[in-house]
Amino acid sequence: MSGRIRVLELRSVAGTGGGPDKTLLSSAAADNPDVSLTLCYLCNAGDTAFQIGEAARRQGIDYVEIRERGRLDWSAWQAIRQLVRERQFDIVHGHEYKTDLLAYLLAKVERVIPFATAHGWTGHSRIERVLYYPADKRLLARFPRIAAVSGEIRDVLVRAGATRENVTVIPNGIDPVVFHRETSLSAHVRDEFGISRDAVVLGAVGRLEPQKRFDLLIDAFAALLGEFPTLHLLIAGEGSQRGDLQAKIDQLSLAGRVRLVGQMDVRRFHHALDVFVQSSDYEGTPNVVLEAMALETPIVATDAGGTSELCADRVHGLIVPRRRPDLVAEAVRTTLNDRAATSARVQAARRRVETELSFEKRLERINDIYRELTSRKKSATSPT
């Protein structure tokens, strides 16, 4: 145990979280002989939707939860410092503006190294866009090393003052053993949704928030319905736009064809689908695209964030410009009509997640940075 690098992964999130939380849970649950990892989440004391702790405990993860009373809770800061002192961490790894700041401050008062993964800045509140996100980018420029989940995010950090050599692009990864298609499940899952086995089903997964642009996906679906009379659309996820999206579905008289199915097991969900569609305006490196690649679901996606770095256009899926429901519809049409080309892309996508985008590969690259940072620290403190 003493020879392992001790890492505290810090994350602050509300509700059910998102893609980064899937990555953190997978990292913490992985068998990692070189790193001893503790996962610590900060969440609001009144957040009844927060359930990440339950998922962590089910997976046997070394997990600590700190409940905060408001945005600035001195007792939360004291609890984190006490945790750092008791467990003598080598590295504190932040994952969004709040924990990036905490990692930076902890490095000023404790013997730890700050590190961060930049997943992107996808919030839509004014205070995030005007204050928190610009401040976070400038702060990250002071870190000794940063992992960016896409080349686009790396370039944003460089423009904010980070040294390009200090920013490593490490896309999210996925476990191709855990995420694999079981053909026999498809009929059963469709039966659960009450959808006939010969229907054509489009699906999407994500938080029901403005940047996901599920409103445009519904428009694209409506444009295709006349051509594909058995078409259905299932959208899995929860969020602040549920009411608005349901109102749009009702307004277009699509209630029998478009459904918001809430949170569910993504692996099972994909077995009901003929095509997976991502309609986002903005992404980091979308886990939902990785999941579709691994589960062998044909992909249509917008060129948001690092999507096209994961899923090359006409190689692993069909990539279209953002905010163009007409082009989303056209890509879905092509996917459904040209089965041979679609099958080739699906097979290529599966091969990619088995090799370059495997979770094991991502973990190796993160561990390399942990080793570099701790080696640097030892060299700096060794007597000359």
Q: Is 351 helix (H, G, I), strand (E, B) or coil?
A: helix
Ramachandran area for residue 8 (φ above 0: left; ψ -120 to 50: alpha; else beta): beta
User: Is the Cβ–Cβ distance between 137 and 157 less than 8 Å?
Assistant: yes
The alpha carbon of residue 154 and the mean position of all alpha carbons in its chain are separated, in whole angstroms, by 16
- pLDDT confidence bin for 138, thresholds 50/70/90: very high
- DSSP three-state, residue 166: helix
pLDDT digits over 189-245, tens only? 999 999 999 999 999 999 999 999 999 999 999 999 999 999 999 999 999 999 999
pLDDT band at 82 (very low <50, low <70, confident <90, very high): very high
* pLDDT tens, position by position, 276-299: 999 999 998 899 999 999 999 999
Question: Is residue 25 within 8 Å of residue 61, measured between CB atoms?
Answer: yes
Match 């890509």 to its residue by tokens.
Answer: 331
Number of helices (H), then strands (E), belonging to the chain: the values are: 16, 13
pLDDT in the model for residue 122? 83
The rounded distance, in Å, linking the Cα atoms of 322 and 175 is 28
Six token digits for residue 304:
């948001």
Phi-psi region of 311 (alpha: psi -120 to 50; beta: other; left: phi over 0): beta
Would you say residue 379 has pLDDT above 80? Answer: no
* DSSP-assigned beta bridge partners for residue 39: 9, 63
Whole-number pLDDT of residue 72:
80
- From residue 59, give the alpha-carbon distance in Å to each of 12, 27, 31, 48, 279: 20, 11, 12, 21, 32
Task: Give me the domains of the chain, ranges plus CATH numbers.
Answer: 5-173+358-381 (3.40.50.2000), 185-354 (3.40.50.2000)
Question: According to the 3-state scheme, what is the secondary structure of 124-153?
Answer: CCHHHHHHHHHHHHHHHCCCCCEEECCHHH
Model pLDDT, residue 360: 92
Question: What pLDDT does 18 receive?
Answer: 79
CA gap 248, 80 in Å, rounded: 44
Examine the pLDDT at 121 and tell me if it is beyond 50: yes
pLDDT at 175 over 70: yes
d(CA 117, CA 145): 9
- Quick: pLDDT tens for 304-359: 989 999 999 999 999 999 999 999 999 999 999 999 999 999 999 999 999 999 99
Cα–Cα dist 287/149, whole Å: 11
Q: Report pLDDT for 176.
A: 95
Q: Write down the pTM of the prediction.
A: 0.89
Rounded Cα distance between 34 and 46, Å, is: 37
Comparing C-alpha atoms, which of 203, 212, 218 is closest to residue 335?
203
- Alpha-helical segments (H) within the chain: 19-29, 52-58, 74-87, 97-109, 126-127, 133-140, 151-159, 185-193, 214-224, 242-251, 266-269, 287-294, 307-310, 325-337, 339-354, 359-381
> What CA–CA distance (Å, rounded) separates 297 from 276?
6
- Going by pLDDT thresholds of 50, 70 and 90, the confidence category of residue 383 is low
Instruction: Say if residue 75's pLDDT is above 90.
Output: yes
Residue 148, pLDDT > 70, answer yes
High-pLDDT (> 90) share of the chain, %:
88
**Cα dihedral 210/215/217/223 (nearest 10):** -160
Q: With a cut of 70, say whether residue 1 has pLDDT above it.
A: no
pLDDT digits (tens, 9 = 90+) for 83-105: 999 999 999 999 999 999 999 99
Residue with tokens 């899995």: 236
Per the CB < 8 A criterion, the answer to whether 248 and 208 are in contact is no
DSSP designation for 210 = G
Report the pLDDT value the prediction gives residue 195, as an integer from 0 to 100: 97
Q: What pLDDT, in 10s, does the model give residues 238-269? A: 999 999 999 999 999 999 999 999 999 999 99
